Amino acid sequence: MVLVVLENQRGNIHPFSLEAVAAGQKFAQELNCELSILCIGEKVDELRTQAQNFKSNKLITAQNSLIDMYSADGYSKVLSDVISSMAPKYVLMGHSYMVRDFVPRVSAKLSIPFVSDIISVDFNNGSPLFSKQVFNAKLATNIEVSSNQALLSFQSAAFSSDDIQEGGPDSEEVFDVQLTEQDIRTQSEPEFQESASGVDLTAAELIVSVGRGVESEDNLPTMQSLADAMGAEVASSRPVVDMGWLPPYRQVGSSGQVVSPKLYFSLGISGAIQHVVGMKGSKNILAINKDEDAPIFEIADYAVIGDLLEIVPKLTEEINNSK
């Protein structure tokens, strides 16, 4: 059996968890085994209602007032108990901050290996090979697990939520959570809310994203004009935020937001892995960069090699003239 663990993000299933559901369905199909989906902790009823749309063998709910708020102690205890009771071969999750926080504890508690931040899976006739990046994403390596069980987390866009098969669970189960106040030794602060700004980049269909290649804060209005002409939201790489040119909620990447618009228009962004993990799930990526060897071109669907300060004003004019 494979078990997918769902995470809540402000009342919705976290986008990384949706990708883990797609992964779980693929695992079940390739390995010819059952799929269970676990709704745990925060806003568990809302997770359950949404997960009732996904094809699975079993939908499990683990609820207790002591895990209504996330805590690494509470979540690791409950997930460890579920794994001990149900003995899944693989436990699948998105590689979110929460998963990075509590899953190593589960791994240590149960002596089950944790293969984290996987970028792809080769099912290899029933003996999966997991690929992940190493040496600051300069190389990729394959990992084969020799133990009976493994905890797996997937990097954003390793699987696509568009591939989720709908249909609902064959059965539902409420897991008997055994927790006492003594189990919870730490408390987490409330989640950081980017959406307090009123800009939800995660819901934007078109994004114009600005990198250090914009060269000066004075050039930002030119980039904003392109975004306005396209009806797009403006986002950025981290240096642009670090220099104070745009507010933090505009940042895309591992320490910013994870976005998946229909079009991600990258302007003067080199394509460092910390940026790419936040946007590689975009349906189309168009990149302008004056360096033809910029790593962003490895994932771009459309590559324009040139000076954005020359190209962007002309492009904006063309778009406005065509309206």
Ligand X SMILES: Cc1cc2nc3c(=O)[nH]c(=O)nc-3n(C[C@H](O)[C@H](O)[C@H](O)COP(=O)(O)OP(=O)(O)OC[C@H]3O[C@@H](n4cnc5c(N)ncnc54)[C@H](O)[C@@H]3O)c2cc1C
Binding site for ligand X (CB under 6 A): 211-213, 215, 237-239, 251-256, 268-270, 272, 274-275, 278, 288-291, 294, 307-309
Comparison of 45 and 291: residue with beta carbon closer to ligand X? 291
Query: Least separation, in Å, of the C-beta of 129 and ligand X?
Result: 28
Comparison of 162 and 298: residue with beta carbon closer to ligand X? 298
Tell me the residue nearest to ligand X as measured from the CB. 253
Comparison of 167 and 306: residue with beta carbon closer to ligand X? 306
The gap from C-alpha 253 to its chain's centroid, in whole angstroms, comes to 10
Query: Least separation, in Å, of the C-beta of 216 and ligand X?
Result: 10
Structure tokens at 163: 């591939």
45-53, Cβ contacts within 8 angstroms, sequence gap of 24 or more: 46/8, 46/11, 46/12, 47/6, 47/8, 47/13, 50/12, 50/13, 51/6, 51/13, 51/21, 51/169, 52/168, 52/169, 53/166, 53/167, 53/168
Comparison of 36 and 237: residue with beta carbon closer to ligand X? 237
Query: Least separation, in Å, of the C-beta of 117 and ligand X?
Result: 13
Comparison of 261 and 278: residue with beta carbon closer to ligand X? 278
Comparison of 74 and 211: residue with beta carbon closer to ligand X? 211
Query: Least separation, in Å, of the C-beta of 298 and ligand X?
Result: 12
The residues, ordered by sequence, that sit 6+ positions from 154 with a Cβ below 8 Å of its Cβ are 16, 19, 20, 23, 92, 93, 94, 95, 117, 118, 119
What is the per-residue burial (b if ≥16 Cβ within 10 Å, else e) of 21-44? bbbbbbbbeebeeebbbbbbbbbb
Query: Least separation, in Å, of the C-beta of 162 and ligand X?
Result: 24
Query: Least separation, in Å, of the C-beta of 10 and ligand X?
Result: 20
What's the chain's Rg over C-alpha atoms?
A: 21
